[in-house]
A and B are shown apart, each in its own frame.
Chain A
Amino acid sequence: MAKLNVNPTRMELRRLKTRLKTATRGHKLLKDKSDEMIRRFMLYIRENKRLREEVEGELSGALKNFMLARAVSSDSVIEEAIAMPSTKVTLDVSSQNVMSVDVPVFEITKQEGSALYPYSFATVTGELDDAVASLSALLPKLLKLAEVEKTCNMLADEIERNRRRVNALEYVMIPQLEETIKYITMKLDENERGTITRLMKVKSMLENKQ
């Protein structure tokens, strides 16, 4: 591992030692953060998987019902029936902090219309009622899925980023600092020994002269 390009002085040594201490502490903290993020991620991803499977099943069913309704009545009847929906779904959007990642949180604020079905029952068949009812019941779950899946996406990204940081500290920064500190210590010791031998030499020369 390459050492840093610095002057072998005491001042530099002290500076590097502080940096090493900070790096080691940062490494430990980031590693702990990574562990906790993975734990949270596992919780979320399990829920994500469960919700995803449920939603896919139910949604396919609801959409199939709707297709059936379209097959029974003519296109124009269906389009007219749902052209003016009686409800309007809006969301309260905010964000929540999960392990320093801002993830979305929704709250459904359904503007209650007069009825769920925006059409007259006389014109369309029962299949459409079924489709609309099941889809409407599915919406909260769908939004929950959106929330959880986004959280998983963002957590996965953050975990990957964090892992890079941990590795950079562990395999690059810390070894580099340790190497450089060792190099400076050796150099300083060597200088010290050089000075002592020089002094001894001078002393013996002086004694020989007398």
Chain B
Amino acid sequence: MREGSIAVVGDKDSVLAFKAIGLDVFPVEGEMQARETVHTLARTYSVIFVTEKVALQAETYIKRYKSRAYPVILPIPSAEGSMHLGLDGINANVEKAIGANVFVDGKED
């Protein structure tokens, strides 16, 4: 069983705040570092919060863990604001499962 720790990966401005509440933070810069960090953390951490920018950069690695229970990799908005990556993911899931988007225009039916 993997240990129940939480990691936060992202640009320094966004992740520093999480350090104050007791999460393990890993500030990254650039695409290579983002990928490598996510890749190594995925082996030990059970929950990894990544900023949306990092989520895009490390997409190939994150996809690999999509169908497994652990680790849970969750994109969160950064300090610069949200890119709506999370909501896009939700819509993609709905389309995959139902075959059509039932939340048209972001509203529930």
Contacts and interface: CB of A to CB of B under 8 A. Distances in A.
A149 B74 contact: yes
B17 A66 contact: yes
Contacts of B2: 93
Interface stretch (A6-14, A150-158, A182-190, A192-200): A150-158
State which size class the interface on B falls in: 35 or more
**Main SS of chain A's interface residues?**
helix
Contacts, number: 148
Interface in B53-102: 66-67, 69-70, 72, 74, 76-79, 81-82, 86-87, 89-90, 93-94, 96-98, 102
B21 interface: yes
Contacts of A103: 69
B16 interface: yes
A95 B70 CA distance: 9
Interface stretch (A15-23, A128-136, A173-181): A128-136
A143 B4 CA distance: 12
Interface string A39-63: 0011001101100110110011011
Nearest to A89: B22
B33 interface: no
Contact of B17 (A37, A56, A63, A102): A63
A59 B72 CA distance: 19
Nearest to B51: A63
B41 interface: no
**Main SS of chain B's interface residues?**
mixed
A103 B46 CA distance: 12
Given A59-B76, A63-B17, 11 more contacts: A41-B98, A63-B14, A70-B16, A87-B21, A89-B6, A89-B23, A104-B69, A146-B72, A150-B69, A152-B93, A154-B69
27 contacts: A45-B90, A52-B87, A56-B77, A56-B82, A59-B76, A60-B81, A66-B79, A67-B13, A70-B13, A85-B19, A85-B20, A85-B22, A86-B22, A87-B22, A109-B4, A118-B20, A132-B20, A135-B18, A136-B21, A139-B21, A142-B49, A146-B74, A150-B72, A153-B67, A154-B69, A156-B97, A159-B97
